[in-house]
Amino acid sequence: MISVPPLMNKTPVRICILGGGFGGLYTALRLSQLPWENSHQPEIILIDKSDRFLFSPLLYELLTGELQTWEIAPPFEELLADTGILFKQACVNGIDIEAKEVQLDNAPNINYDYLVVAVGGKTPLDIVPGAKDHAIPFRTLQDAYRLSERLRILEQSKTEKIRIAIAGGGYSGVELACKLADRLGSRGRLRLIERTESILNTSPEFNRETAKKALEKRLVWLDLETEIESITSDTISLLYKGQVDPIPVDLVLWTVGTQVSEWIQKLPLDRDKRGLLTTNAMLQASDNPEIYALGDVADCRDATGQKVPATAQSAFQQSDYCAWNLWASINQKPLLPFRYQSFGEMMALGIDSATISGMGVKLEGMPAYLLRRLLYLYRLPTLKHQLTVGLNWITQPLIQ
């Protein structure tokens, strides 16, 4: 195992964390809770382009009004109050590894002693002609706002049916389809487009079958073994068994793929063929032990050799190990290799419905919906935010 000697200078060690998602924010919070001696107390700086943390698994509930922005996207300044963590809202342009310097857009560069890269990915919209101009991704709070505004305009229009196509039959596509079908009711005409022969290919069978029933119940049309040829302002052209059919649409949502930022692809570090930073089991960049990478940006195999999936659950677990290994590096203690544990999967399947499979539990419908909410409440980043949100849910019951 790699251990980095402590830096012998009089100034505090500076840990710079890029990205305030599950990997970055939770690493910062865990670091602030570890037992530091005064002489080793580091300066922790968290940098994110947004002013808010996003609890992304609950983003879908904004579309149906089940949750409010403040519940799933609290400001960083609020979450980090009294933690000693410094927050800086800025966009990262690059990293000068030789100088140990983070380059920011319209802000002074920041030096670091240790670096955590947890910026996540972005949805690629250059795969299909017209997607960049006419499709809406669903990854950020801004994406949810943009989609909500488009839906509001369509709902206020005189059009009889609202036709929505969703690219991708993975978790995001399925959850979006069910939520939007419940929101739009009889006015909705939704189709889910998947290039393989089944939706949710990597999901447990129980969740996959439950999701299929939920989609069928909501009359969501499945276009399996179908590829998207192009998108215009009012059509989506689908390729099925050699034949291309243009389908009229009012809205196209894109949930396919993850792409790392351009500046990450330019770093002089080992990467895989997708551009992800290659790490060892301690979550360190394979050729630079003072740089840690986790979440969507990392190609990681854990201590057992299994490939770590790019999920919020993975980043949540990685943050504990990353924080410990940073502490251990500074304090000359042994580092711990990351061991990923799958606790199962949860999906929202419309309003007041979900499916859960894992740890010996299989639930669907309202019981799964309630358990999913409680588990996510427990995973909210701080105790104060958990109590505030939990009290709100008690005073405004989940079941209306």
Half-sphere exposure of 311 (CA within 13 A, CB side): 20
Nearest to 316 by CA among 286, 346, 291: 346
Which candidate, 333, 357, 284, 342, places its Cα nearest to that of 308? Answer: 342
Closest CA to 218 of 186, 261, 194: 186
Reading the chain (400 residues) residue by residue, the pLDDT tens digits are: 444 444 445 688 999 999 999 999 999 999 999 998 877 789 999 999 999 999 999 999 999 999 999 999 999 999 999 899 999 999 999 999 999 999 999 889 999 999 999 998 888 888 899 999 999 999 999 999 999 999 999 999 999 999 999 999 999 999 999 999 999 999 999 999 999 999 999 889 999 999 999 999 999 999 999 999 999 999 999 999 999 999 999 999 999 988 888 899 889 999 888 889 999 999 999 889 999 999 999 999 999 999 998 888 999 999 999 999 999 999 999 999 999 998 889 999 999 999 999 888 899 999 999 999 999 999 999 999 999 999 999 887 654 5
* Largest separation between any pair of C-alpha atoms in the chain: 70
Tallying the residues shown for the chain, one arrives at 400
pLDDT digits (tens, 9 = 90+) for 176-206: 999 999 999 999 999 999 999 999 998 899 9
Measure the CA–CA gap between 384 and 154, rounded to whole angstroms. 38
Where do the structural domains in the chain lie, given as residue ranges?
14-49+90-121+259-330, 131-254, 345-395
pLDDT digits (tens, 9 = 90+) for 11-42: 889 999 999 999 999 999 999 999 988 777 89
Q: Give the position of tokens 């930073």.
A: 277
Question: Which two tokens mark 316?
Answer: 């949540």
Name the residue among 60, 10, 300, 268 with its Cα closest to residue 180: 60
337-371 CB burial, b ≥16 within 10 A, e <16: ebebeeebbbbbbbbbbbbbbeeeebbbeeebbee
Q: Under CATH, which number does the domain 131-254 receive?
A: 3.50.50.60
Domains 14-49+90-121+259-330 and 131-254 belong to one CATH topology: yes
| Residue 173 in tokens | 């596509």
Tell me the backbone φ, ψ of residue 227, rounded to 5 degrees: -115, 155
Q: Is 305 left (phi over 0), alpha (psi -120 to 50) or beta?
A: left
State the Rg of the chain over Cα.
Answer: 22
Phi-psi region of 198 (alpha: psi -120 to 50; beta: other; left: phi over 0): beta
Read off the pTM. Answer: 0.91
C-alpha span between 170 and 200 (Å, rounded):
5
**Whether CATH 3.40.630.30 fits 14-49+90-121+259-330:** no
